[in-house]
Structure 1
Amino acid sequence: MGTRPDIKRLQSRLDSYRLLVEEAKDYAIFLLDLEGNVTSWNLGAERIKGYRPQEIIGKHFSTFYTEEDRKAGRPERNLQHAFKEGRFEDEGWRIRKDGSPFWADVVITRIEDEQGNLIGFSKITRDLTERKRAEDEIRKLKEDLEHRVEERTAELKEANKILKQRTAEAEAADRLKSQFVSNVSHELRTPINAIIGYADLLKSEVYGPVAGEQREALEGIERNAGDLARLVNDMLDLAKIVSGKMSLERTQVNLGALIEAVAADLRPFSEKKGFPIRCVFERELPRIESDASKIKQILVNLLSNAVKFTDRGEITVRARKRGDRDGVEVVVQDTGIGIRPEELPKIFDPFHQVDGASTREYGGVGLGLAIVKELLQLLDGEIRVESTYGKGSAFTFLLPMRGQPDSTTPS
């Protein structure tokens, strides 16, 4: 860097500034020799860095740098920059005597004699820790705010997109449903009733004798026409429920007797396939105030599905009063084909079918469970399903007591 400076000559040049520099308390002002060793120390340096003059003079200025900076050779590069460019300014972390860090603004300036020879460096340091802390806090708050605004904006955009999509889907579905139900109501009910009526007249031999094979064919016509009539009625029922046009007739309902009656109606179909329908109730099942016809439709739909999708094992209907809630719980459990996990959230959607193969094998258009859910909502009830694919399903619905919860009847 040059010839070793004459320290006495350097001190002589700075005598006029000594008093001002030594008494300054807000700035650490001191001198370095060519090697970077401290040669002077003012009150500001003592206050900011914590060293007394006798503790630091003669030591290398890298003492004030962090361990990481020292290992990276940063002090030497800073001094070399001041030597080449005449001045070096930097902000960064520095270390006090007690080991605590502080954020410093540092200026290192090259000092020359009258002939332009390098004789040392001056170093001025300001403690900007409070400003740095405030800036960091402001920056953090700003970043957090920007992040929250971005997240909230994205959420609102996505919610708005979903809302628009669902609104459009709902409107399209409503239009399709209204049109479809209207067409079904006007175009199918009359001819279906006519088919059923004429088939009954033929079976009754109003138009002449009927042979055995002909009677079997007529029974097939009646059976399929009846299925079609039920499908039409299901669609009309669903439309009434959704449009709010279905009324309720609340009475005191003997739920145990109602379940037994529905099970008895469907047992011939399950027994034909080789499995029973069992009813298991509490010793005393409370009466509830509800609409018996709607509960019957719920039970018929659930048990019909259970019979349809079960080939072996059994179907069990359990009913009990809920101890933790004011209501009665009914479980329809089967050992049928079960439902895949990905299909469970959609099984109560109108016209939803698990897959095409099931539709072809078991029939139906996917209205039964949708009607069950809508009817239960109409009755202030609820339903859930648990299923293991290949092993069976359990549909559990809850009906509120509504009327006289203390009135009971043996099941």
Structure 2
Amino acid sequence: MTISEFQRKFLLRHDLSTFNRLNTAIWIIDIDNYKIWWGNKSALKFLEIDSLPSLVNQDFSAEEIFTREKLEEIFSDTSKGHYIEENWTLHLNQIPKKAVVTFIPLLIENEKRAILIEAIPQLTEETLQRDHRIQELTDKLTLTRQEIQSAIKSKSEFLTIMSHELRTPLNAILGFSDMLKQQVYGSVNEVQTSALNDIFNSGQHLLKLINELLDASIIDRGELQLVDEFFQFDSIIEDCQSIYKEEISKKNLNILVQNNAQLLFLIGDPDRFRQILMNIFKNAVQYTEKNGTITFTIEYDTEGNLVFAIKDNGIGIAQNRLPNICKAFEQDNRSPLTSGKGMGLGLYITSQLVSAHGSKLIIESSEGEGTKVSFTLPKSRIRDSKRSEIQQLTLAIPNVHTCEACYSK
């Protein structure tokens, strides 16, 4: 019999603590006393035994593979350097456990003979079938995900192509109707002028919808780009009031502007920033009833960031609609007067543009009490003095599919 020095060192149980880190089930059988002497945590899990004392006290005399003669034979052969590997079915704890086992001869405390058993569980037919079903479902999910991604890409490409194809003839309609209004081709009467105004306004509305579709498709493809430069935002606030002055006047709305950061220079895309403020202000005008008030506030927060907020006392948004209000094609039919006037892309595009500028869109609203929409521009995008040169940077913005930026308080 030859037991190596490596195997001789396992004389005390505390020497075996390292084996508790292994995922392989390992236990040691004391041949001389014919009992389990020690097992690691993986062995307890494999044999479904709750504690080491329970394992040590386990009666395995009924196991045919655990006969004294069998263990003596294994110890003798492995001590001579023979490698033994067997397929065992254990019935400890009344639960059959199939495993491929290997053996190492040891001398434990008081030079007692022992065998270290390493067990690798065998997959049962039930387990194999379950794994096969899991693999089938995984393959189906992968294929479905690929089909969805392909459909999204096709939809986005279709929207882009259609948007460009529609804009060409639409621009011609707008141009000619405007020239007719200006009586470039001859005089027109009052009725004709009214009809031309309707054509021109409807065309402008259709152009806006097409532009929104184009923006949405660009965002979905992850191709949104900002052309960053230094610009002042004061004129954009004035333009908001100017563009919607007719509806403001018609509703007799009170517009309050509290600009506590005048003449600042921002770093961002001025066209996209204009689009952000225009969309938010347009919604406030659209959903505020007659004689209502809209407050436009620009101020610093405690950390030096710049907060833009537009608050109205309009009809508000129901709480159950807030979580989805910024999703694409989520049309907000809060009022019968405004339902059907858009495709539900305004806030979706706005939230993505705000995110591209390093911020998030925050929507706070209560039905019947009004809505506050705000975002905070980080101080890294703020400059308090005029620059002699305009620096332009083209930044590729990653695709943002969710509207985590939007939440209510």
CA distance in 2, matches of 1:232, 1:395: 25
Partner of 1:380: 358
RMSD value over aligned CA atoms?
3.7
Letter in structure 2 aligned against 1:194: A
Task: Report the alpha carbon displacement of residue 323 of structure 1 after superposing the two structures with TM.
Answer: 1.6
How big is each residue's C-alpha offset from its partner over 1:62-98, in whole Å with a ceiling of 9 and x where there is no partner? xxxxxxxxxxxxxxxxxxxxxxxxxxxxxxxxxxxxx
For residues 279 and 167 of structure 1, do their structure 2 counterparts lie closer, same or farther at Cα, with a shift above 3 Å needed?
A: farther
Question: 2:261·2:298 contact (CA, 8 Å) conserved in 1?
Answer: no
Q: 1:174 aligns with which of 153, 161, 164?
A: 153
Q: 1:247 aligns with which of 225, 234, 257?
A: 225
Task: Report the alpha carbon displacement of residue 405 of structure 1 after superposing the two structures with TM.
Answer: 4.3
Partner of 2:199: 221
How big is each residue's C-alpha offset from its partner over 1:383-411, in whole Å with a ceiling of 9 and x where there is no partner? 110111122111111222335545499xx
Question: 1:286·1:321 contact (CA, 8 Å) conserved in 2?
Answer: no
Structure 1 stretches lacking a partner, 5+ long:
1-130, 143-152
Q: 2:369 aligns with which of 384, 391, 399?
A: 391
For residues 357 and 296 of structure 1, do their structure 2 counterparts lie closer, same or farther at Cα, with a shift above 3 Å needed?
A: closer
For residues 171 and 336 of structure 1, do their structure 2 counterparts lie closer, same or farther at Cα, with a shift above 3 Å needed?
A: farther
CA distance in 2, matches of 1:401, 1:239: 30
Structure ranking higher in helix proportion: 1
Partner of 2:322: 344
Question: 1:309·1:362 contact (CA, 8 Å) conserved in 2?
Answer: no
Task: Report the alpha carbon displacement of residue 226 of structure 1 after superposing the two structures with TM.
Answer: 0.8
Task: Report the alpha carbon displacement of residue 269 of structure 1 after superposing the two structures with TM.
Answer: 2.2
SS in 2 for 1:352: coil
For residues 301 and 283 of structure 1, do their structure 2 counterparts lie closer, same or farther at Cα, with a shift above 3 Å needed?
A: closer
Task: Report the alpha carbon displacement of residue 369 of structure 1 after superposing the two structures with TM.
Answer: 0.9
CA distance in 1, matches of 2:301, 2:139: 41
Question: 1:288·1:400 contact (CA, 8 Å) conserved in 2?
Answer: no
Letter in structure 2 aligned against 1:240: I
CA distance in 2, matches of 1:171, 1:333: 40
For residues 198 and 177 of structure 1, do their structure 2 counterparts lie closer, same or farther at Cα, with a shift above 3 Å needed?
A: same
Letter in structure 2 aligned against 1:208: G
1:332 maps onto 2:315 in alignment: no
1:234 maps onto 2:204 in alignment: no
Q: How many residue pairs end up in the alignment?
A: 262
Which structure carries more relative contact order (alpha carbon 8 Å, separation 6+)? Answer: 2
Q: 2:164 aligns with which of 185, 189, 193?
A: 185
Partner of 2:288: 310
Question: 1:353·1:366 contact (CA, 8 Å) conserved in 2?
Answer: yes
For residues 163 and 276 of structure 1, do their structure 2 counterparts lie closer, same or farther at Cα, with a shift above 3 Å needed?
A: farther
Task: Report the alpha carbon displacement of residue 232 of structure 1 after superposing the two structures with TM.
Answer: 0.9
Question: 1:273·1:311 contact (CA, 8 Å) conserved in 2?
Answer: yes
Question: 1:317·1:332 contact (CA, 8 Å) conserved in 2?
Answer: yes
Task: Report the alpha carbon displacement of residue 244 of structure 1 after superposing the two structures with TM.
Answer: 4.1
Question: 1:289·1:401 contact (CA, 8 Å) conserved in 2?
Answer: no
Letter in structure 2 aligned against 1:338: G
For residues 294 and 273 of structure 1, do their structure 2 counterparts lie closer, same or farther at Cα, with a shift above 3 Å needed?
A: same
1:296 maps onto 2:277 in alignment: no
SS in 2 for 1:250: strand
For residues 191 and 308 of structure 1, do their structure 2 counterparts lie closer, same or farther at Cα, with a shift above 3 Å needed?
A: same
CA distance in 1, matches of 2:377, 2:310: 14
Greater radius of gyration (CA): 1
SS in 2 for 1:402: helix
Partner of 2:332: 354
Partner of 2:90: none
CA distance in 2, matches of 1:408, 1:284: 12
TM-score (ref. length: structure 2): 0.56
Partner of 1:368: 346
Question: 1:254·1:286 contact (CA, 8 Å) conserved in 2?
Answer: yes
SS in 2 for 1:183: helix
CA distance in 2, matches of 1:399, 1:285: 16
Please identify, of 229-238 and 357-366, the stretch whose mean Cα deviation from structure 2 is larger: 357-366
- Percent of counterpart pairs with the same letter? 29
Partner of 2:190: 212
CA distance in 2, matches of 1:333, 1:364: 21
For residues 132 and 173 of structure 1, do their structure 2 counterparts lie closer, same or farther at Cα, with a shift above 3 Å needed?
A: closer
1:199 maps onto 2:165 in alignment: no
SS in 1 for 2:204: helix
CA distance in 2, matches of 1:356, 1:178: 31
For residues 341 and 382 of structure 1, do their structure 2 counterparts lie closer, same or farther at Cα, with a shift above 3 Å needed?
A: same
CA distance in 2, matches of 1:362, 1:316: 26
Task: Report the alpha carbon displacement of residue 341 of structure 1 after superposing the two structures with TM.
Answer: 1.3
Alignment of 1:255-266 (within 5 A): 255-266=233-244
For residues 170 and 350 of structure 1, do their structure 2 counterparts lie closer, same or farther at Cα, with a shift above 3 Å needed?
A: farther
For residues 373 and 359 of structure 1, do their structure 2 counterparts lie closer, same or farther at Cα, with a shift above 3 Å needed?
A: farther
Task: Report the alpha carbon displacement of residue 204 of structure 1 after superposing the two structures with TM.
Answer: 2.8
For residues 163 and 297 of structure 1, do their structure 2 counterparts lie closer, same or farther at Cα, with a shift above 3 Å needed?
A: farther
Question: 1:287·1:401 contact (CA, 8 Å) conserved in 2?
Answer: no
